[in-house]
Structure 1
Amino acid sequence: MGKRIFLYILVLLLCGQTTHSQEQKRNRKLERFERRQARNRQLQGEIQLSGAFALYPMVVRWAEEFRKLYPRVKIDISAGGAGKGITDALAGVVDFGMVSREIHPAEVEKGAFAIAVAKDAVVVTVNSNNPLINIIRTRGLTRSAAVALWKTQTAHTWGDVLGTPSTIPVHTYTRSDACGAADTWGAYLGIKQEDLEGTAVFGDPGIASVIQRDKIGIGFNNIAYAYNVKTKKPHRNIAVMPLDLNGSGRIDPEEDFYDTLEELCEAIAGGHYPSPPARELYLVCRGKPQDDVILEFLVFILTKGQQWTAESGYVPLSPQRLEEELDKIL
């Protein structure tokens, strides 16, 4: 029995007991997949993906590892925002759209078939050389202050943001492209992406770059663009502003998990960082996939591929969630 089959069975065992009929159904699926796997030892073809900046680094890593097993499979990946990914997938331009937000009902009606593959989150980013950085780290950002920045535009100074006498102006940034980060951050504030106020900047790298240059700026990024995956610390000139979740006016010990990428990912996995702005990440295709190359890639991601999520700065799916997603495609 192949490694992927073993890993799939392991996922099922971790999720507890199942009924006899469920086991029979899964066994039939596994038998079909094993027969297909035997045919796929010389797998060749092409996979095209486009979409979310949030998922791009993870998919690149999965593609590299997958091609070590199947070097005759070509994988083309381009980032351009979740909106582009879902549009391309539904139009049949790509095999998968990378989407970093929930799938809208209208998209499901058009044939969107979504597979959850990992978790991450959107975080608030500021310049680490902000003159008020120590207060920023100890007081954090309340939800009401975030609403005043991105919705009502009633926060004009850092004093307005932090509840201090400071008259230092604050520069608020948002995304110009249709993307999961803005959709998710808007959901946290109770508004849609198009209602987010601020200076619009294209892409995750764009927001990170402008925050690195603007000492009094504030924006939001996917964690892969806020933290350095190798050092597990925020990128140069970037600090992650903690969320004051209980509105106490200070960051309490249970809210303080932003120093390293590992701490934040543990908080996301444990539900201590709220959802939204934490969220699942999806690969979306038009209709349930049937192509052997596409299915093999998905099974790889949901089994062996999960081992690279944490080291790449993402949160792996729970065993139960993996079982649910595998059941959808097998």
Structure 2
Amino acid sequence: MKTKLLLGILFLTTICCSNPQPSNKSSSLPHHQGKIKITGAFALYPLAQQWISDYQKLNPNIEFDLQAIGSGNGLIEVLNRETDIAMISSQIPAEHDTTLWSTPVARLAVVPIISKKNPYLHKILKVGIKKDDLITLFLNQNKRTWGGIYGKSSEHPVNVYVRNDKSGATDVLANYLWANPADIVGIKVTGEIKMIESVKSDPLALGYCNLVYTYDLNNNKFFDEFCILPIDLNQNGVIDKREDFYHDFAKIQRAMVLGKYPCVLDRNLFIVTLGKPKTKEVVDFLKWVLTDGQKVVPQMGYIELRNSEIRYNLYYLLN
């Protein structure tokens, strides 16, 4: 057992410490018929849009069909051969390990969100919310009130919203709450945009979304009308200096890189195909995503993968 482990480590070290040489293997693959169809996670959709835009400037004859339908639905489509590439934003089920080929392409966190019209907003931003309270609110059908959580007498209910489109964000949140996705109860909405619109319009809302949907990259500011609900990580009843990074996008990204934000909520995003990619155009596109395409990952509000991780997956794509 020790010998096998040592050989595996040596093999990974050899790959990760060397740069895979560009391969001409794709030139011998059959050409793709029609558009390259990519479906799945809302989490990856903005980044995939940018990748396609940049890639088509270099390869104007390559056409794509990009659809955000939810991570779980993307997985179903790729297994049913209804899409060429699936965007997956949660852990790939173990039973599909031998069926699917996958590579991580970026990292992104899930964050709880509330309306800026919440009557307790000032107190909420000052003290945050404890994980225990999040568990109770998302998993308990016996509704609690905002006043009950923040020490004031009121009858303002917490209106919990939950995605019902097989979203990876729901899977990630449930994992953080030590629960199954089906255990999360609330008002059902379909898609990331509908979740955000619901939270914006409901002063008593509690929802969740992927971090990139909270920030306007064009104007370098958080979107109006809703905000991230700070998590009181040490559950001491106040957002300490170490936890006070939610008002600045660069700071919250930095906190996630340093592990100050719950690592369970900050996960890899995957590109998945049914078996190893089989056509020249798909292989060439994925090779570009793992090389030049990585340059836009931080610009789009995502967290970059380690270079060693990229080189490792690039090696297995090209060999």
Whether the TM-score (by the shorter chain) exceeds 0.5 is: yes
| Aligned CA distance change for structure 1 residues 20 and 120 (closer, same or farther; 3 Å) | closer
Separation in structure 2 between the aligned mates of residue 81 and residue 309 of structure 1, nearest angstrom = 20
Distance 1:287 1:159, change over 3 A: same
Which stretch shows the higher mean deviation, 54-63 or 320-329? 320-329
Distance 1:127 1:19, change over 3 A: closer
C-alpha displacement at 1:290, in angstroms?
Answer: 2.8
Which among 193, 196, 217 is matched to residue 205 of structure 2?
A: 217
Q: Secondary structure at the match of 2:86?
A: strand
Counterpart of 1:171 in structure 2 is 159
Q: State the alpha-carbon separation in 2 of the partners of residues 92 and 26 from structure 1.
A: 35
Superposed displacement of residue 21, structure 1: 10
- Figure out how many residues of one structure are paired with residues of the other and give that number: 307
> 2:193 aligns to what?
205
CA 1:96–1:297 in 2, change beyond 3 Å: closer, same or farther?
same
Where do 1:1-330 residues align within 5 Å?
22=14, 30=21, 33=23, 35-36=24-25, 46-109=35-98, 111-330=99-318
Residue 202 to residue 279, structure 1, CA distance change in 2 (3 Å): same
Q: CA deviation at 1:168?
A: 2.3
Asked if structure 2 preserves the Cα contact closer than 8 Å seen for 1:234 and 1:240, the reply is: no
User: Unaligned regions of 5+ residues in structure 2, if any?
Assistant: 1-9
Deviation sequence 1:5-29 (CA, Å, 0-9, x none): xxxxxxxxxxxxx889946x977x6
Show structure 1 runs of 4+ deviating over 4 A.
18-21, 36-40, 42-45
AA of the residue aligned to 1:180: G
Greater shift, 140-149 or 284-293, is seen at 284-293
The structure-2 alpha-carbon separation of the partners of 1:45 and 1:68, relative to structure 1 and needing over 3 Å to count, comes to farther
In structure 2, relative to structure 1, the CA distance for the partners of 1:275 and 1:187 (3 Å cut) is same
Amino-acid identity (%): 30
- Structure 1 position 166, deviation (Å): 4.2
Distance verdict in 2 for CA 1:304–1:193, change over 3 Å: same
* Equivalent position of 1:6 in the other structure: none
1:254-294 deviations in whole A, cap 9, x for unaligned? 11111132222222222221122111101111011132211
Q: Which has the higher relative contact order, 1 or 2, with Cα contacts under 8 A spaced 6 or more apart?
A: 2
In structure 1, runs of 5+ residues without a counterpart are 1-17
> Relative to structure 1, is the Cα distance of residues 148 and 59 closer, same or farther in structure 2, using a 3 angstrom cutoff?
same
- Partners of 2:264 and 2:234 in 1: how far apart? 15
Instruction: Provide the rounded CA distance (Å) in 1 between the counterparts of 2:35 and 2:159.
Output: 44
Structure 2: which amino acid aligns with 1:71?
Answer: P
Give CA deviations for 1:284-325 in whole Å, capped at 9, x if unaligned. 110111322111111111111111111211111111221222
What SS is found at the alignment partner of 1:276? Answer: helix
Amino acid at match of 2:135: V
Letter in 1 for 2:218: K
RMSD: 2.5
Q: TM-score, normalised by structure 1?
A: 0.86
Q: Pick which of 239-248 and 157-166 moved more.
A: 157-166
